[in-house]
Structure 1
Amino acid sequence: MLIILDSIIYQLQRAGGISVYWSNILARLSNVSEDILVDIFGNPGSGNIFEDADLVSSYRSERYVSLFLQRYLPFWPKVRAKGKYIFHSSYYRTDFSHQAINFCTVHDFTYEKYSSGLPKLVHSTQKRVAINNADVIICVSENTKRDLLEQYKSVDPGCVYVIYNGVSDNFYIINDEDASVEIEIKFSNPYILYVGDRSSYKNFSMFMDLIDSRPDIGAVIVGGGELKGHEQDWAARNIARIEHFMGINESSLNYLYNKAHCLLYPSSYEGFGIPVVEAMKAGCPVVALNCSSIPEVAGNSAILIDVLDSGEFSAAVSRLFDIDYRSQLVSAGLVNAQRFSWDNCFEQTFDLYRKAFSEAKSG
């Protein structure tokens, strides 16, 4: 069985949930003992923090002379494979060869719900082509599957599979005797952790309002690019109790989860919500907005707030100063996190590769 993988996501983002997903698929595929051939297409030098440097030297290249063409046009290798093969793109590309068995992983519908104008048109068009030409569609949650079937009435539900994202084994509770300072924090206040993008639907403005109202608490922000505009003004007002880290590794992030008072996750929409599970596995309580995929992923192991209100979130943060309540929530989170494994994610994905290839060969 030949599997062709398109790693273009590494060129499109420096970090992010899709990169985490793709790197875990690639890492496990290289360890499969079955009789398979794997061709990975990509471009070296992406700067993506999750890209495996050991795999870069084995990348194959396409005919396109620019990333722009490669990004928006169908897969076009220099030499076409003979016979049936699996084609799986990391980000909504399609192989129109009649020999290709197209796989498409759908992570969310953020662009469709929260973007507008040309960016929405371009993204949605390419995504529509990928979904409509996919032989197998993988959704990362039941919530994403519902969104897919609502938006694409012509898609056969029988070709849509839910395979949950996993969580890295690099997230765990640090024993005090083994703990070393992975990353320096300049203040001593208990801190709330915010991880990821700060687009409008992530509701970072509410996070800022909460910190403004709580001089007893600090804030540690991870990722999301440089603070800009009103975010910079807010950080300057609270400079003595704000830290912002970018491009840190999982070991450092695990340390931040371990030492945080909680992870605050006020996003209005998620396809999955990997930081929620990472935090739980690291023993960090989670306070999140009760919407989209979050209740599906968090279960009964987080404080879920029904309304986007800084006062409601602040009250939840205060509840976590109760040692007994906090301990109960941490224990529940550790149990819940066991539902999610990158090994399980890969095994289910690889089973679909085998099933689709077998059916195509016999058909």
Structure 2
Amino acid sequence: MALVIDGVFFQLAQSGIARVWRAVLPRLAAELDMPIVLLDRGGIDIDIAGVEVVPFPSYKSKFNAHDSVLLEKVCRHYDASVFASTYYTTPLQTPSILLVYDMIPERLGFDLTQRDWREKEIAIAHARRHVCISHNTRKDLLNYYPELDPESTTVAHCGIEPAVFKRADESAIAAFRRKTGLNRPYYIFVGSRAQHKNYKNASLFFDAVKTMRKVDFDVLCVGGEKNVEASESGGHKIIQLDLDDESLAIAYSGATALVYPSLYEGFGLPVAEAMSCGCPVISTAHGSLPEVTGTAALTIGGFSVPEMVEALNAVRQDTVRTQLIDAGLAQASQFRWESFSHDISRVAQRIAADGRTGKFKAFYDKWTELRALQGDVDVLA
């Protein structure tokens, strides 16, 4: 009896979803009363006690049905009672738990006929239980898939590493400033600045910066695209860096504010991490963000440049900063990976127990027939 986890997302990217699994895996291994097998399709550099890392063929988004056959074979080899994917892959008859990160493609009108998003739909249908990373994500999941049993969908908020994401001391902040050349106050923006439908809403922030004539601050972009909007924007220095967690915590600690004007988030991990470092947050009330920020952020509508400018100025006032920092530290203390991992473990054990009774057999027998038909079509195509 084992939990087989497909590490496919590590092949695709090393962004937020990979960070979630890196945090969860050691805690699952410590808590779960079954061995964990992690399938390495590339990009995994993990050595965790209780987690066996097994090489596995790279993922290709065309022959998904045949990929499911391979996944089922490895699940049977390891006597898996539960399967989980870091993204949207599925076996055939091994019961699966699906971690639902967001409903961005559905909510923002992506082309859902694309194969990757069809596989997401398949993964949702295959899973016997769904763990959503926010109440808003769960609400959207049930809205788009009303046939799902609400009792099979639960919520587990993401966590933070308090030993890493904490307020840095002044000497560490000063060293970071010297190394990066950020000698003036600076705002920080985390993640991609260019997406389909612009849902991260980065353009609002940078449009606001361009209108601010008083050149007494700079901008640090962490992660995302290598090319920033401009090395100088009206005299404001804008730089891009890729930072590890320890350096990111220092960057948050020294920043004037994290600017996070997203129009949709499955959770919004940078917001929780920034607050845990004593960094004020400018954000919106869209998606799951109110669940993360509570009343601890400076909230804007997300569509007005003047409103953004007003928020950027307001967060530099001492009274506003003190209030946001204190509230943010208290709010961030609610989010811990131990709680998240416990919820995943509990659901995995429930699926394993139900599977042993034969509860899912009829469903997965029919599923296997249908997936085989899809595989035949893929070959012909």
Calculate the TM-score normalised by the size of structure 2.
0.84
SS at match of 1:344: helix
Rate the CA distance shift 1:134–1:52 in 2: closer, same or farther, 3 A. same
Query: How far apart, CA to CA, are the structure 1 residues paired with 2:161 and 2:303?
Result: 29
**RMSD over equivalenced CA pairs, Å:** 2.4
- Does the CA contact (< 8 Å) of 2:158 and 2:336 recur in 1? yes
Question: Residue deviations 1:269-309, cap 9 Å, x none?
Answer: 10100000000000000001221111121100001112411
Tell me whether 1:242 sits opposite 2:238 in the alignment: yes
Q: Which residue of 1 aligns with 2:83?
A: 87
SS at match of 1:54: coil
Partner AA of 2:89 in structure 1: R
Query: How far apart, CA to CA, are the structure 2 residues paired with 1:187 and 1:71?
Result: 48
Pick one of 203, 206, 220 that aligns with 1:208: 206
Q: CA deviation at 1:327?
A: 0.8
Query: How far apart, CA to CA, are the structure 2 residues paired with 1:71 and 1:271?
Result: 28
Query: How far apart, CA to CA, are the structure 2 residues paired with 1:94 and 1:263?
Result: 37
Rate the CA distance shift 1:154–1:310 in 2: closer, same or farther, 3 A. same
Rate the CA distance shift 1:120–1:224 in 2: closer, same or farther, 3 A. farther
Q: Which residue of 2 aligns with 1:219?
A: 219
User: Aligned ranges for residues 1-363 of structure 1 at < 5 Å?
Assistant: 1-13=1-13, 15-32=14-31, 35-44=33-42, 46=43, 51-54=44-47, 58-62=52-56, 64=57, 66-68=58-60, 72-73=64-65, 74-75=67-68, 76-77=70-71, 78-79=73-74, 80-81=76-77, 85-97=81-93, 100-114=94-108, 116-117=110-111, 121-169=114-162, 170-176=164-170, 181-182=175-176, 184-198=179-193, 199=195, 200-214=198-212, 215-227=215-227, 231-232=228-229, 234-237=230-233, 241-246=237-242, 248-362=243-357
Q: Which residue of 1 aligns with 2:379?
A: none
Per mean C-alpha deviation after superposition, the further-off stretch among 316-325 and 107-116 is 107-116
Q: CA deviation at 1:322?
A: 1.9
- Does the CA contact (< 8 Å) of 1:211 and 1:218 recur in 2? no
Rate the CA distance shift 1:69–1:261 in 2: closer, same or farther, 3 A. closer
Question: Residue deviations 1:197-242, cap 9 Å, x none?
Answer: 1221111111111221222221000011222xxx54x334457611
Q: CA deviation at 1:52?
A: 3.9
Rate the CA distance shift 1:242–1:5 in 2: closer, same or farther, 3 A. same
Query: How far apart, CA to CA, are the structure 1 residues paired with 2:113 and 2:15?
Result: 19
Question: Residue deviations 1:170-219, cap 9 Å, x none?
Answer: 10012336656246222422111000112211111111112212222210
- Count, aligned residues: 346
Partner AA of 1:357 in structure 2: A
Q: CA deviation at 1:120?
A: 5.6
Query: How far apart, CA to CA, are the structure 2 residues paired with 1:83 and 1:54?
Result: 22
Partner AA of 1:315 in structure 2: E
- Does the CA contact (< 8 Å) of 1:101 and 1:356 recur in 2? yes
SS at match of 2:175: coil
Partner AA of 2:251 in structure 1: L
SS at match of 1:202: coil
What percent of counterpart residues are identical?
29
Q: CA deviation at 1:20?
A: 1.2
Unaligned runs of 5+ in 2: 359-381
- Does the CA contact (< 8 Å) of 1:111 and 1:123 recur in 2? no
Rate the CA distance shift 1:153–1:162 in 2: closer, same or farther, 3 A. same
Query: How far apart, CA to CA, are the structure 1 residues paired with 2:80 and 2:52?
Result: 22
Query: How far apart, CA to CA, are the structure 2 residues paired with 1:220 and 1:72?
Result: 40
Unaligned runs of 5+ in 1: none
SS at match of 2:95: strand
Rate the CA distance shift 1:304–1:179 in 2: closer, same or farther, 3 A. closer
SS at match of 1:30: helix
Partner AA of 2:281 in structure 1: V
Q: CA deviation at 1:93?
A: 1.1
Query: How far apart, CA to CA, are the structure 2 residues paired with 1:82 and 1:154?
Result: 32
- Does the CA contact (< 8 Å) of 1:194 and 1:263 recur in 2? yes
- Does the CA contact (< 8 Å) of 1:163 and 1:348 recur in 2? yes
Rate the CA distance shift 1:236–1:319 in 2: closer, same or farther, 3 A. closer
- Does the CA contact (< 8 Å) of 2:7 and 2:38 recur in 1? yes
- Does the CA contact (< 8 Å) of 1:289 and 1:305 recur in 2? yes
Q: CA deviation at 1:126?
A: 0.4
Partner AA of 1:86 in structure 2: V
Query: How far apart, CA to CA, are the structure 1 residues paired with 2:89 and 2:37?
Result: 16
Calculate the TM-score normalised by the size of structure 1.
0.88
SS at match of 1:171: coil
Query: How far apart, CA to CA, are the structure 1 residues paired with 2:181 and 2:236?
Result: 8
Query: How far apart, CA to CA, are the structure 2 residues paired with 1:120 and 1:212?
Result: 38
Question: Residue deviations 1:132-171, cap 9 Å, x none?
Answer: 1111101000100111011111111111011111112210
SS at match of 1:287: strand
Partner AA of 1:135 in structure 2: R
